[in-house]
Every structure is written in C-alpha cells, then in structure tokens.
Amino acid sequence: MRTRTAALLAWSSLLGLSQATCPFADPATLDKRDDSPPSDFLDQYKVDDSDGYMTSDVGGPIEDQHSLKAGIRGSSLLEDFIFRQKIQHFDHERVPERAVHARGAGAHGTFTSYGDWSNLTAASFLGAAGKQTPVFIRFSTVAGSRGSADTARDVHGFATRFYTDEGNFDIVGNNIPVFFIQDAIRFPDLIHAVKPRPDNEIPQGATAHDSAWDFFSSQPSTMHTLCWAMAGYGIPRSYRHMDGFGVHTFRFVKEDGSSKLIKWHFKTLQGKASLVWEEAQVLAGKNADFHRQDLWDAIESGNGPSWELAVQVVDEDKALAFGFDLLDPTKIIPEEVAPLTKLGVLKLDRNPTNYFAETEQIMFQPGHIVRGIDFTEDPLLQGRLFSYLDTQLNRHGGPNFEQLPINMPRISIHNNNRDGAGQNFIHTNIRHYTPNTLNNGFPLQANQTHGRGFFTAPGRTANGNLVRQLSPTFDDHWSQPRLFYNSLTPVEQQFLVNAMRFETSHLTSAAVKRRVLAQLNRVSHDVAARVAQALGMDAPAPDPTFYHDNVTAGISIFGGGGNNAILLPTIRTLRVGVLASAGSDAAMRAAAQLRERLVADGVVVAVVGETLAQGVDQTYSAADATGFDGVVVVEGAEGLFGDGREATGSALFPAGRPGQVLLDAYRWGKPVAALGRGGKALQSVGVPVKGEGVFVEKEVEELVTGLEGGLARFRVSFLFSFGSFSSLICVGDE
C-alpha cells in the first residue's frame, strides 16, 4: 500500500512539473498568452531610412554611386567590396526568375561571315567568307515579370550567343544603343526605381509612376535612353522589326595584339517598325503574347528573321575625339563619324523544342568572350562582367549551369573545375591542378602564342590612382538626347511628347514633375513646354546653352510622308484582315480571291466573318485591329457596318465590332482598303474613301497593288499628323 501511495505521489509531482514547464498544459494559462497584433512584433524588424548615412550590410558608412577604378577612365577593381556587396545582393533578389529581362522568347539560327576579317580581329568565327556559326538569340523586355505583357513600353533585350569553334561568345545587348546609367554600381537603384512598388507590387512592367521618374529626373544620364524608349523603339511591331546593339564599346584585337575600338550593331533585314501607344495598350490586354507568337509563327512558316551584324570601328587614340567619351554607355557614335562595316548575316530558322530547357535556362554573360575580342574600361561593362556570372549562380543554385545543354559550347571542355551542385560530368583526370607532372601538364595553358588562347589587348594600361568617381568626359547628358529628338520626323516627335505626357500624367509628386520638366528643358524647350501644358504647369524658360540643330542618320522608324517614306524591305508575314460576311456568297468569293492573291506574296491573311463558316478564319467576336497590319472590307460585307443598327442587331459579336476593327486600323495608321461596294463601310465609320493609306478599288489586282504598297509603308504618317494625333503645333526652343 505504501508503495502504491509513493508511486501516486511521484506521478503527481511529475504531472505538476510537466504543467510548470508547458504553459499550454494548464488551461488556465491559455488566457495569459500574448494577443498583441503581429504588426507590433514585426515593428522591431522595420528599417527607417528617413535619415542617416548609407552603410554597408554590417553598418559601415559608405558611398555607393561610383565604382572603384584604376584611374579616372580605368578598369573597375575586384577589391571594390562596396560594388560587390551591392550588385551581388541585387543579383540574388529574384529566385529563380531573372531579376531583369524575365519576359522573353528565343530561337536558334546561324551566323554566316561575309568575309575574312582578320585585318580587324583574330576572332575565328569572323575568319573566312561563308564560315557559319550556330547562334541562339533571346529577346525580352526589361522591367516586367515573366507574366507581364510583351507590348509594355520598355527597352528590349537583344542577347545573342555565338557557339564558335573557339568557345561561346555572347553579345548581351538591347534594341536601344545606349543605357540609362554610366556606372554599374547604380544598376540596383535603377531597377528598384522602375520595378513595382514594394508595398503593393504596382505597377507591373511600367514606368508611369513616381519612383521611376524620381530616379530619371535626379539622374540626367537617363535622358538619352528615355528618349529612345518614349519613341517607337519602346514599342516595336515585333522582335523581327527591331535592331540590336551591343551598347558598350568593345575592342577588336588582331593576332599581332594591335586593337581598335568597336560598337556592335544588328541591323534588321525586315525593316524597322513600331506600334502606336494606344494599339500597344490594347494588345497588352487582348494578346499579351503578341511578340512571342509573331516570332514563333514567322519561323514555323519558313520566314525566320535575319539581321546583318556590323561594327563601327574607331582607332584607340580617337576615344575622346568626337566631343564625348567612347567609354560612356549613354552615347552613340553617329554613323556619319564612323560608318558601319557589315561583317555577316544572322538568320533565325528553328524554334526551341522546349521553352524552359532552352529559352529560360540559357544564361548569357558579357564575360563569355573569345580570342580576338576584348573589353574596354566602360564602368557599366566592367560591373556587368561580375554581375551576370553572379546572377547565373543564383538562378541555377550552383556553378555548373554551363553544363546545361543550351549553355554548352560546341567544342570540348578541359579545365580543373570540379564537383558542385548539379555536376553532370564524370571527370577521369585525378590530377586536377596546375602545374602537374603526373598528368603530363595537361590541360595546357593557352595564350596569345600557344593554343590560340584568349589574350588581353597588350596596349591596355591602368590610367592612374584609385578613384571612386566618373570621368568628367562623361558629364554631358543632354546633347545626344537632343540629337536623337532632332533626327525624328515631326510625327515621331509627337509620339515622344505623347509618351512623356502619358507617363508624367500618372505622377503625384509636384516636385518630381518640376524636375522632369527641368531635365526635358535641357534637351528641348519645345518638349518641356508641351509636356508642361498637359500637366497644367509652367515650363521653365528656354536655355539655349544646351540647344543645337544637329541631326544623324538611321534614327527615324516611320520616315516622312510621300516619297520620303521609309519602306519595309519585305511584307512577307505581315497580317491582313479581310472583313467579310459569312452570309454573303459574293463576300466569301471576294475574300477567297484576295486570300489567294495576297498569300502568293507571303502575306498572312485572316478572313473574318460572323461565324466560323467555311472560308472564315476568325469571328468578329474574336477579331481586333491589333491583330492586323492592314484591313480590307470586301463587297457584300458593307451591311455589317451601316449606322450601327445592323451591328447591334447581331448576337454573334459585340455591338459595332466590324466598324471598330476598321476605324481602329485607320486611326493607328494602318492601310485600309475596300473592294467595290465595300467602300460604303468606310464612309459609314467616318473613314474617307480617298487619301493616303486608303485604297478603294473595283478589281482585286488593283486593290492588292495599292494595299501592298501601304503595307510596305507600314504606317501612314499623314493620318497621325492630321487624324488622331493633330496637336503638332510646336512652341519652339528659342
């Protein structure tokens, strides 16, 4: 009995002990838990940056706007712990999506050299006429996420990999030849400013908000790239209809070690073409994959796009000879100063088999370079050489991303890199160090004279003391934006003004608006005054100190009207919508005739009708002017337009849809045409039957001739000037 009592007492003691150590074991203690809201707990982790100095992640005060360089125009240094911390942290902000250029599409192709360019470079892929090199190009937007729309206004990535017989070579460029900043250490600031707000993740893939323009107006080096992006270059018709640029100045190095400075250019052989802003906005909602689909369809149809690869070549001692610094990535070299040398042609002819395995997993780097090409001391390029490698390490989770099939070179690999996450190779060499004698010294060291190895241009030198500042030769931020603006046609200038008005009208900060106007006024008082008018603000007084009347070639996309129009080299793959009526035999016969004739010239034709009857490709309920480069109304379909009574009486498509397709096409400068009595449809929606870009004919052949001429014009600037974009009155700079 005594034993049983002792056991019970012991059990009672243990129970009390367990209740003492676990408060939730005693129901009475449940009312004593901390009920303070989670936000109170999280307050201790909030960081208030409303005052104080910039510090490193471990608290040391720093300044982080200039990379550490070997001399004012020298190379950036690996010892720059401030740059490495800042850019490395930025590189790891997105997992696993790309931090920038997340939205993209790509394709395979071939580069063919026009000649033996050994007089310029030791690069093997440029060493013989007709020599072919496999390539992969990835096009992209910059700011938006993978789920954003293709037609957002943005700089567009144009990254090209050459799988050469001496290793992979990447030109990681854009469709605009300049960039927003001059030093890579400012790149995280730029992207943080243009990305969605961190509190509400708004807006997606857009810069019409205070943060972006606060940065732009505070960083005048952005003005040049902004002008390009606010013009047609920010909203291209397709990836196929835009040029590409290497942005930075690089070096060509010959076998003897002599070198010249170069700029890379990809010139589209489809011709340059852009959307108009309202059209791009509608497309974003109706077909967010517009550019992806266009590229895929063109290649699948056997009409893969082509570009000529060209360079501008400048002697090393001329880097400061043109009134600006060739190391400054916010400057172009006017083609009048350094003409293009066309090196070869690049053609895309094969779509990926698997988007993720190829387009998503390809990992470009400016540091993928080959013998005969070398870097310059451009401080933006210097930082990208570190950042891209670091970003790929973050995305792949380890150092073996180069072993993915899309990233592997087309030649054998020999080095002492071993192991790591995702290792795919089975190395047989157990002497993986250099120097060694037990493996007969292999792999051997390759250099300028042995093994055709990469070598740095021997003439490169450090430029002076270690400094953390930009060269004064980078200080001019306004003359080249004005050069760009002067080189546009009046219609394209209006596009730029409209875009600036749209973006800045979304700003809420009066101080930011004033700074924007101040920066624009240094480019053009005309632009500043017209933007200020839309904002209901006074423009700054003109400042002739900054103004000039210089122009340069190759800037305009649309060209002037009449004989001054810039014609596309080919209309193949352009899309024409034939507005017909499934209930009219005459309309369907005419549509079939038009299709046969246009398809023979490589035009893609979609016949639109009320229902998917035989011969109809698309219903009016699914049709939109954004899907076509030109629109034709055939005889027999005019009854679908009228004054709206016929359209509203149909339950097969939204009220007025046929007329909307026709009128939108006209407003956006697309050629519109009518066959026979179809001309009544034009009149019913307010489109004149005579005028530039409008073709009304009785016979199919005559109509096709006029329409194809209009397609080659791509957009009719007359309509922009005197139709939907009528406010072309200039205030003037002086």
User: Which residues are part of a known binding site for heme?
Assistant: 388
Place of tokens 């034993």: 3
Closest C-alpha among 144, 471, 141, 519 to residue 329: 471
SS3 317: helix
Separation between Cα atoms, residue 476 and residue 376, nearest integer Å = 20
Closest C-alpha among 732, 726, 277, 229 to residue 528: 732
Task: Give the length of the chain.
Answer: 734
Which residues belong to the active site?
101, 174
Separation between Cα atoms, residue 270 and residue 317, nearest integer Å = 36
Separation between Cα atoms, residue 84 and residue 184, nearest integer Å = 10
Strands 618-619 and 575-579: unpaired
β partners of residue 253: 259
Closest C-alpha among 201, 227, 205 to residue 216: 227
- The structure tokens listed for 362 are 């390809």
Separation between Cα atoms, residue 395 and residue 421, nearest integer Å = 12
Edge-to-edge order in the sheet of strand 618-619: 618-619, 604-609, 575-579, 630-633, 672-675, 694-697
User: Rounded to 5 degrees, what are φ and ψ at 466?
Assistant: -70, 130
- Angle 256-261-266 from CA coordinates, rounded to 5°: 115
Instruction: Enter the DSSP assignment of 43.
Output: G
Task: Concatenate the DSSP letters of all residues of 453-501 into one string.
Answer: -----TT----SSEE-S--GGG---SHHHHHHHHTS-HHHHHHHHHHHH
Separation between Cα atoms, residue 118 and residue 660, nearest integer Å = 57
β partners of residue 162: 135, 169
Instruction: Enter the DSSP assignment of 144.
Output: S
> How does 204-234 read in b/e, with b if 16+ C-beta sit within 10 Å?
ebbbebbbbbbbbbebbbbbbbbbbbbbbbb
- Residues 174, 484, 502, 98: what is their CA dihedral angle, to the nearest 10 degrees? 10
Separation between Cα atoms, residue 154 and residue 629, nearest integer Å = 22
SS3 12: helix
Separation between Cα atoms, residue 455 and residue 453, nearest integer Å = 6
Whether 350 contacts 231, CB under 8 Å: no
Q: Which amino acid is at 159?
A: A
Separation between Cα atoms, residue 242 and residue 247, nearest integer Å = 15
Residue 145 contacts by C-beta under 8 Å, 6 or more apart in sequence? 97, 102, 103, 204, 205
Q: Which amino acid is at 89?
A: H
Closest C-alpha among 105, 111, 93 to residue 156: 105
Separation between Cα atoms, residue 376 and residue 382, nearest integer Å = 8
SS3 313: strand
- The structure tokens listed for 189 are 């600031």
Whether 130 contacts 114, CB under 8 Å: no
Place of tokens 């002008």: 227
Cis? peptide before 203, omega within 30° of 0: yes
Whether 74 contacts 67, CB under 8 Å: no
β partners of residue 719: none
